[in-house]
Amino acid sequence: MRPESVVALLAEPSRLQVFSAVVLGATSLPSAARAAGVSVKEAAVAVRRLTDGGLVAETDGELHALTEHFKDIVRTTRPPAEEPESHGYENDEVESLLRTFVRNDRLIRLPSQWVRRRVVLQHHTHRTFKDGTTYDERTVNEKLKVWCEGVGTDHVTVRRYLVDLCLLGREGGRYWLRTDIQPAL
């Protein structure tokens, strides 16, 4: 059964109401009409169309909803699962950590553990700042605001973490990428 067929069958409000009544346990035409709030004649027309369409069956005088079509439709029309984002590291633990805290080069949130926080921030730092270049505080703030957009941590806090974790050096209002510290990645 195709999704369009199901939608077309259930697009009419009285058919939808009758189908819902059958799904919820109405087993006869009068009980389906009563539960759906429609006349017995309207329920009969709806049941006929739903039966012809394959959503309702009548067995031994009782109505039954055929809901397995919905699972089949979901299985056949579900888009393929997205490939997890790769950040370019061969280490699966680092990749897993970054998938948890980084999406599309933006922080989702900061890890609470310092070791993990350092890995996430080091990832961003080495992709954002160039070795041998110094940056004024305004430029650093602009770059960090991009990372922090939509995160519960502000760019000033992240800037402090970068200095505290020795990822960025700071002196006299100037910042630079620290390359003299052994990377955690």
Decide if 151 contacts 129 (C-beta within 8 A).
no
Distance between terminal CA atoms of the chain? 51
Q: pLDDT category, 75, cuts 50, 70, 90?
A: confident
Is the model's pLDDT at 81 over the cut of 70?
A: no
pLDDT in tens, 144-182: 999 888 777 789 999 999 999 999 999 999 999 998 765
Report the DSSP pairing between strands 106-107 and 168-171.
Answer: unpaired
DSSP state for residue 89 in the 8-state scheme: -
Is the model's pLDDT at 184 over the cut of 70?
A: no
pLDDT in tens, 82-138: 777 888 888 889 999 999 998 888 888 889 999 999 999 999 999 999 999 999 999
Third-level CATH fold of 3-77: Arc Repressor Mutant, subunit A (1.10.10)
Of 171, 175, 182, nearest to 122 by C-alpha is 182
- Across the range 16-45, mean pLDDT stands at 96
Is the model's pLDDT at 78 over the cut of 90?
A: no
- Residue 30's Cβ-side half-sphere holds a number of Cα atoms within 13 Å equal to 0
Stated pTM of the model: 0.55
Other C-beta atoms lying within 10 Å of the C-beta of residue 146: 13
